[in-house]
Amino acid sequence: MVENIRLSFQGIWSHKMRSFLTMLGIIIGIASIIAIVSTIKGTNELIKQNLVGAGNNSIYVKLNQGDSEYYLEQGTPSGIIPLKEKQKDAVRNLEEVKYATFYRNKSYVPVYGNQTSFEANIYGVDLEYLKASGYKLIKGRNFVAQDGASFHKAAILDLAAAQSIFGEEEPLGRTVEIQGEPFQVIGVVEKEENTGIVVQSMKDYMTYRQDEKFGLILIPSETWPILFRFDEAENAMIRAAGIEQMTDAGNKTSELMNACISKEQSKNGFSYKADDLLKKAKDLQEVGESTNQQLIWIASISLLVGGIGVMNIMLVSVTERTREIGLKKAIGARKGKILAQFLTEAAVLTSLGGILGVIAGIAASEVISRISQTPVGISVPAILAAVLFSMGIGILFGLLPSIKAANLNPIDALRYE
């Protein structure tokens, strides 16, 4: 076998241009497949990042009626009781959950401060809200247990709310009036960088935060009854341990929270449901799956063409080396030896083409990534499969020329000119 491989490399090197042209179909086919698979993988990752969030992994679990979200501004239906601490702890202790927070919220709430009126989203939150929601403090402090225990009317503003009310002035320590109650600003937050665009101005806010059309103001959940009803239902936001755990984390959290809904209201269609963004991402990925498979099959045609080229050049090689084959058979070489020699040469030729195709495919993937601004998704299994497949093509398409060489009559071969 080693001797056959050495002879194969010797034959390839002695006909460099011919060998390269023979391998070209294999190189193009393998490079195309690797580039397509890498692009598909990178695009799927981009879809997941854009829809789910790069490193955010946050899932909303909200009260629904039927297939639609039930907006708690309408009031909490009877038979749906607030979550107990025991249930909240059960959610926090789930293996798939890294952080969990429970909140109430109202929209379009008038807020006054610094002689400015402003409509905001008001959230009554617990101490874990910033960790679970992907916000980070840029000024001041987070809520502490003492804020809730003493019913401290403290507020944390997002950057948009702070700039809308106070402009370039320092917001910390200032007062905002919500529902006629004064709240002291203790902090300012913004989204973490790995969750999307960093908001640095109102222009950025309006451009990139279309899902948050109004400013965000957080208050301790204990002070919520000062402004609104004390027995309102809560929604949840959980941060999964990883992207792949998002679906399980959302489903298990929903199941635990649904214990707060009476059987009668369950019959009316009320239930807590997770907004499964991971499933949505997978659905989007599956939409283009058939098209992607067609592209791979089209690229595979060049491998077929390359295999025919290998067969053609091996037939030429058998013809050129007829006297050599006859001499070997005359001195005792068996059919199996001749067959193995030519099969090895075909396999080596296509394997080299496969390796060069892998290199070209990786390079093409990098170029496509830079042009399209999508992540590079090099697939190691695809690379290994490509090399093995190219070797298989060499054996398959080299079989006919090898059989022809092995079956040559030594006398006729020696007489061949």
**Per-residue model confidence as pLDDT tens digits over 86-120:** 999 999 999 989 889 999 988 889 999 988 888 88
Where is pLDDT greater, at 208 or 60?
60
The residues near 249 (Cβ < 8 Å, ≥ 6 apart) are 59, 94, 96, 97, 238, 240, 241, 274
In the chain, the amino acid numbered 224 is W
The pLDDT value recorded for residue 279 is 58
Where is pLDDT greater, at 142 or 35?
142
The residues near 268 (Cβ < 8 Å, ≥ 6 apart) are 65, 77
Half-sphere exposure of 125 (CA within 13 A, CB side): 26
Residue 18 has pLDDT above 50, yes or no: yes
Domain ranges of the chain: 2-50+286-415, 54-284
The pLDDT value recorded for residue 284 is 54
Among 12-26, 194-208, 365-379, which is the least confidently predicted range? 194-208
Q: What's the token pair of residue 145?
A: 């247990």
Element (H, E) at 104: strand 97-113
Instruction: Answer for the pair 129, 123: CB distance below 8 angstroms, yes or no.
Output: yes
Instruction: Answer for the pair 235, 125: CB distance below 8 angstroms, yes or no.
Output: no
Tell me the pLDDT tens digit for each residue of 212-253. 556 899 999 999 999 987 778 889 988 888 777 878 888 899
Backbone dihedral region for residue 108 (phi beyond 0: left; psi -120 to 50: alpha; all else: beta): left
What number is the average pLDDT over the span 69-79?
Answer: 77
Q: Checking DSSP bridges between strand 154-158 and strand 181-191, what pairing results, if any?
A: parallel
Among 26-30, 135-139, 396-400, which is the least confidently predicted range? 396-400
**Model-level pTM?**
0.56
Torsion of CA 314, 319, 321, 327, to 10 degrees: 130
The pLDDT value recorded for residue 124 is 93
Where is pLDDT greater, at 28 or 7?
28
Task: Compute φ and ψ for 83, nearest 5 degrees.
Answer: -65, 145
What number is the average pLDDT over the span 25-42?
Answer: 79
Please name the residue that has the structure tokens 């690797």: 34
Q: Go through 132-157 and write b for each residue having 16 or more CB atoms within 10 A of its CB, e for each that does not.
A: bbbbeeebbebbeeebbeeebbbbbb
The pLDDT value recorded for residue 54 is 47
Q: What's the token pair of residue 188?
A: 């300012």
Element (H, E) at 310: helix 289-320
Angle in degrees, CA 378, 381, 355, rounded to 5: 75
Q: Give dist(CA 354, CA 349) in Å, integer.
A: 9
The residues near 188 (Cβ < 8 Å, ≥ 6 apart) are 137, 138, 139, 140, 156, 157, 158, 159, 162, 171, 172
Q: What's the token pair of residue 20?
A: 């390269």
What number is the average pLDDT over the span 177-202?
Answer: 73
Residue 174 has pLDDT above 80, yes or no: yes
